Structure 1
Amino acid sequence: MYSRQPFSGPTRKLVLGIDIGTTYAGMSYCLLEPGRMPTILPVTRFPAQDHVGGDTKVPSIVYYDESGGAKALGAEALQESVIEQAEEDGWKKSEWFKLHLRPDKGAPTTDENTLPPLPKNKRAQDVFADFLRYLLQCARVYIGDHFPDGTALWIKLQDSMEFVLTHPNGWEGEQQSQMRAATIIAGLVPNTRQGRERIHFVTEGEASLHFCVANGLATDPLQHGKGVIIVDAGGGTVDISAYRKVNDAEGSDRKFEEIARAECLFNGSIFVSNRARQYLESQLQGSKFADDVEHIRQCFDKTSKLRFRATDEWSYIRFGRARDKDEALNISNGQMKLPGAVVAGFFRPSLDAILLAILNQCNSAKVPISSVLLVGGFAASEWLYSELKEELNSLGMEVSRPDSHVNKAVADGAVSYFLDRFVSARISKHTYGLECNTVYEPNNSEHLSRSHTTYMTVDGHMRVPHRFSSILMKNVRVSETTEFRERYVQLHKDRLQLQAASIELSRYIGEDEDPRWTDIDPDDYPVLCQVHADTSQAAKNLRPRMGQLGLYYCLDIEVVLSFGLTELKAQIAWFENGIEKRGPAELVY
Structure 2
Amino acid sequence: MLQLEPYKGSNRRLVIAIDVGTTYSGAAYCILDPGEIPKVLSITRFPGQEGDNRSRDVKIPSCLYYDQQNKLRAVGAEATLQNTQREAYTQEWTYVRWFKLHLRPPSILPGAILPPINVNKPVLEILADYLAYVLKCSKRFISETSPIGRKILDTEGASALPIDYVLSHPNGWSGPQQNNMRRAAVMAGLVSDSDEGMSRLQFVTEGEASLQFCIATGLVNHIQQENNYVTIVDCGGGTIDLSTYRVVDSAPVTVEESVNPECLIQGSSMINHRAEALLRDKLRNSCFSTNEDIESMMANFDSTTKPIFRDPSAMSHIKFGGARDTDVRYNIRRGYLDLSGPEMVSLFAPSIDALKAAIDTQVSGMDHRLAAILLVGGFASSPFLRDELQAHMTRKGLRMFCPEGQTSKAVAEGALWFYLDHRVRARVARHTYGSACNVHYDPLNPEHLRRKHLTITNAAGATMVRFAFATIAQKGTVVTETTEFRCHLAQHSEISAISGDTDAISASVISYRGSKTKPAWRDDEPEMFNKLCRVRGVPASDSWQTRDGPNGPYRYHPFDIILLLGLTEMKAQISWWEDVRAQST
Q: How does 1:404-419 map to 2 (within 5 A)?
A: 404-419=405-420
Greater mean alpha carbon deviation, residues 5-14 or residues 203-212: 5-14
* Paired residues of 2:226 and 2:248 also in contact (CA < 8 A): no
Match of 2:485 in 1: 484
Match of 1:522 in 2: 526
- The structure-2 alpha-carbon separation of the partners of 1:149 and 1:206, relative to structure 1 and needing over 3 Å to count, comes to closer
In the alignment, residue 230 of structure 1 is paired with which amino acid? I
In the alignment of these two chains, the number of paired residues is 575
The CA deviation at 1:230 is: 0.6
Q: Retained in 2: the 8 A contact 1:259–1:426? A: yes
Q: Is the 8 A contact 1:62 1:94 kept in 2?
A: yes
Is the CA contact (8 Å cut-off) linking 2:426 and 2:566 kept in structure 1? no
Residue 517 of structure 2 corresponds to residue 513 of structure 1: yes
Q: 1 CA distance for matches of 2:449 and 2:177?
A: 40
Superposed CA deviations along residues 95-154 of structure 1, whole A, max 9, x for unmatched, are 111111111222242x32xx2222422111111111111111111111111123653332
Distance in 2 (alpha carbons) for counterparts of 1:262 and 1:468: 25
Secondary structure of 1:294 counterpart = helix
Q: Pick which of 39-48 and 313-322 moved more.
A: 313-322
Distance of aligned partners of 1:150 and 1:420 in 2 relative to their CA distance in 1, 3 Å threshold: closer
Q: Distance in 1 between matches of 2:491 and 2:82?
A: 65
Deviation of 1:52 (Å)? 4.2
- 2:313 aligned residue: 312
Partner of 2:342: 341
Worse-superposed segment, 317-326 or 27-36? 317-326
Q: Which residue matches 2:427?
A: 426
**Residue 28 of structure 2 contacts residue 41 of structure 2 at CA under 8 Å; is this kept in 1?**
yes
Superposition deviation, residue 365 in structure 1: 6.4
TM-score computed with the length of structure 1 as normaliser: 0.94
Contact 2:363 2:371 in 1 (8 A): no
Q: Is 420-429 or 548-557 further displaced after alignment?
A: 548-557
1:501 aligns with 2:505: yes
- 2:137 is matched with 138
Q: Which amino acid aligns with 2:71?
A: G
Tell me how far 1:201 sits from its aligned partner.
0.5
Distance 1:367 1:575 in 2: 50
Distance in 2 of aligned mates of 1:385 and 1:155: 46
Instruction: Give the Å deviation of 1:367.
Output: 8.9
Task: Classify the secondary structure of the residue corresponding to 1:554.
Answer: strand
Which residues in structure 2 correspond to 1:295-306 (within 5 Å)? 295-306=296-307
Matches within 5 A, 1:562-573: 562-563=564-565, 565-573=567-575
Q: In structure 2, what is the equivalent of residue 165 of structure 1?
A: 167
For residues 209 and 367 of structure 1, the distance between their equivalents in structure 2, rounded to whole angstroms, comes to: 19
Distance of aligned partners of 1:88 and 1:352 in 2 relative to their CA distance in 1, 3 Å threshold = same
**Distance (Å, rounded) in 1 between the aligned partners of 2:495 and 2:545:** 11
Give the deviation of 1:511 after TM superposition.
Answer: 1.8
1:551 Cα deviation (Å)? 4.1
Change (3 A) 1:124 1:6: same
Query: What one-letter code is carried by the residue in structure 2 that aligns with 1:278?
Result: A
Q: Structure 2 counterpart of 1:522, which letter? A: P
- Structure-2 separation of matches of 1:425 and 1:367: 22
Asked whether the 8 Å contact 2:491–2:558 carries over to 1, the reply is: yes
Q: Alpha-carbon deviation of 1:253?
A: 3.0
Q: Distance in 2 between matches of 1:550 and 1:68?
A: 59
Greater Cα offset, 545-554 or 435-444: 545-554
Aligned-pair distance for 1:215? 0.7
Give the Cα–Cα distance (whole angstroms) in 1 for the partners of residues 58 and 358 of structure 2.
Answer: 29
1:220 is displaced (CA, Å) by 2.5
**CA–CA separation in structure 2 for the residues paired with 1:52 and 1:153:** 28
> How far apart in 2 are the matches of 1:128 and 1:368?
43
Cα drift, residue 195 of structure 1: 1.2
Alignment match of 2:201 (pick from 184, 193, 199)? 199
Q: Is the 8 A contact 1:246 1:253 kept in 2?
A: no
Deviation at 1:255, TM superposition (A): 1.8
Cα distance change, pair 103–543 in 1 and its aligned pair in 2 (3 A)? closer
Identity %: 40
Q: CA deviation at 1:548?
A: 5.6
Instruction: Please list the CA deviations of residues 469-498 of structure 1 after superposition, one character each: whole Å capped at 9, or x if unmatched.
Output: 111111111211011101011112329676
Q: Residues 464 and 365 from structure 1, CA distance in 2 versus in 1: closer, same or farther, beyond 3 angstroms?
A: farther
Equivalent residue for 2:11?
11
Equivalent positions of 1:181-196 (< 5 A) are 181-196=183-198
Tell whether 2:175 aligns with 1:176. no
What residue in structure 2 maps to residue 282 of structure 1?
A: 281
Alignment of 1:322-333 (within 5 A): 322-333=323-334
Secondary structure of the corresponding residue to residue 455 of structure 1 = strand
What is the correspondence of 1:379-458 to structure 2 with a 5 Å cutoff?
Answer: 379-458=380-459
The match for 2:43 is 43
User: Which residue number in structure 1 is paired with residue 87 of structure 2?
Assistant: 85
Specify whether residues 541 and 180 from structure 1 end up closer, same or farther in structure 2 by C-alpha distance, changes over 3 A only.
closer
Q: Match of 1:359?
A: 360
Distance of 2:97 and 2:39 partners within structure 1: 32
User: In structure 1, what is the equivalent of residue 32 of structure 2?
Assistant: 32
Rounded Cα–Cα distance in structure 2 between residues aligned with 1:186 and 1:550: 53
- Over 3 Å counting, the alpha-carbon distance change for 1:541 and 1:7 in structure 2 is closer
For residues 185 and 340 of structure 1, the distance between their equivalents in structure 2, rounded to whole angstroms, comes to 47
The letter for the 2-side match of 1:447 is H
**1:244 corresponds to:** 246
Tell me how far 1:161 sits from its aligned partner.
0.7
Letter in 2 for 1:34: P
CA distance in 1: counterparts of 2:9 and 2:117, whole angstroms: 43
User: Which deviates more, 451-460 or 288-297?
Assistant: 451-460
Provide the secondary structure at the position in 2 that maps to 1:31. Answer: strand
> Aligned to 1:190, what secondary structure does the other structure show?
coil
> What are the residue-to-residue correspondences of 1:463-478 with 2, within 5 Å?
463-478=464-479
With over 3 angstroms needed to count, the CA separation of the structure-2 counterparts of 1:459 and 1:367, relative to structure 1, is farther
* Alignment check: 8 A CA contact 2:152 2:161 kept: no
Moved more, 340-349 or 556-565: 556-565
Q: Report if aligned partners of 1:235, 1:270 keep a CA contact under 8 Å in 2.
A: yes
Runs of 5+ in structure 2 lacking a partner? none
Q: Following the alignment from structure 2 to structure 1, what is the Cα–Cα distance between the partners of residues 367 and 29?
A: 35
Q: Is the 8 A contact 2:368 2:397 kept in 1?
A: no
What's the secondary structure of 1:11's corresponding residue? coil
1:194-230 CA-to-partner distances (Å, cap 9, x unmatched) read 1121111100000000000001112222223211111
Letter in structure 2 aligned against 1:509:
R
One-letter identity of the residue aligned with 1:205: G
Deviations 1:17-67 (A, max 9, x none): 111101111111111111111111111100110544311011111111112
Amino acid aligned to 2:349:
R
Residue of structure 1 in register with 2:115 after alignment: 116
Cα distance in 2 between the residues matched to 1:52 and 1:480: 41
- Counterpart of 1:205 in 2: which secondary structure? helix
User: 2:220 and 2:314 mapped to 1: Cα distance?
Assistant: 32
- Correspondence for 2:216: 214
Determine if the alignment matches structure 1 residue 61 to structure 2 residue 60: no
Aligned residue identity for 1:22: T
Provide the rounded CA distance (Å) in 2 between the counterparts of 1:453 and 1:96.
44
Query: Could you say what the CA RMSD is over the residues aligned between the two structures, in angstroms?
Result: 1.9
SS in 2 for 1:363: coil
| Contact 1:222/1:244 (<8 A) preserved | no
- The one-letter code of the counterpart of 2:24 is Y
- Aligned residue for 2:147, secondary structure, equals coil
- Structure 1 residue 546 displacement after superposition: 4.4
Cα displacement string for residues 549-582 of structure 1 (whole angstroms, at most 9, x for unaligned residues): 6544321100011136211111110001210001
Partner of 1:226: 228
Q: 1:564 to 1:362 in 2, by over 3 A?
A: closer
Deviation at 1:333, TM superposition (A): 2.5
* 438-447 or 465-474, which deviates more: 438-447
Deviations 1:491-539 (A, max 9, x none): 123296761101122111222222111111212212221211112x1x4
- What do residues 424-471 of structure 1 show as CA deviations (whole Å, max 9, x unaligned)? 111111111112111112222212222233232222322211111111
How far is 1:91 from its partner?
0.8
Question: Distance in 1 between the 2:423 and 2:31 partners?
Answer: 20
Which secondary structure does the structure 2 equivalent of 1:544 belong to?
Answer: strand
Residue 531 of structure 1 corresponds to which residue in structure 2?
535
With 38-47 and 453-462 compared, the bigger mean Cα shift is at 453-462
The answer as to whether partners of 2:376 and 2:402 remain within 8 angstroms in 1 is: yes
Closer, same or farther: CA 405–437 of 1 in aligned 2, 3 Å? same
